[in-house]
Amino acid sequence: MSQEEFIAAFLSVWDKPECFEPEAVDGLAALSATITQLTDASNNDIYNELDKWCENYPKLTEVIAAALRKPKNKPTDPTKQGNVVDNRYPELYESLCKRIKPSGE
C-alpha cells in the first residue's frame, strides 16, 4: 500500500460520514489544523499524520482498511448530499485531494 492509496482510502471514507464515530468527527479539527499546515510536506509526512490520527479511532481505521481491500469503482456522477464532515472541514478534504493522483496517470 502506498501513501497515496491510504490517503485515497481515507477520502473514500470521508464521503461516508456515517462511518465517522462522534469522537472521530470531534477529532477532525485537530487533524485539519495539522494537515493544512503541511502544504509543502511529503505524502509520507501526510500519511504518517493520518495514520497517527487514525490510531485513536479503531472503528474508522477498520473501515479505511476495508476500503483499501475493495476494488476502486468511481461513480460517473458523484453527489454530495449534505456531507457534514466535508462541510465542516473543507480545507482538510482539499489538502488531502491534492495528495492523490487522478486515475489514469
What share of the chain has pLDDT > 90, as a percent? Answer: 54
| Nearby residues of 49 by Cβ (< 8 Å), 6 or more positions away | 31, 34, 35, 38
Q: What is the pLDDT of residues 62-103, one digit of tens each?
A: 999 999 986 655 554 445 445 556 677 888 888 888 888 665
pLDDT top residue among 72 and 21: 21
Specify the pLDDT at position 102: 65
Q: CA 38 → CA 15, 41, 52, 89, distances in Å?
A: 22, 5, 15, 15
AA letter at 10: F
Number of H helices, E strands in the chain: 6, 0
Specify the pLDDT at position 57: 95
12 touches 67 (CB < 8 A): yes
Specify the pLDDT at position 98: 86
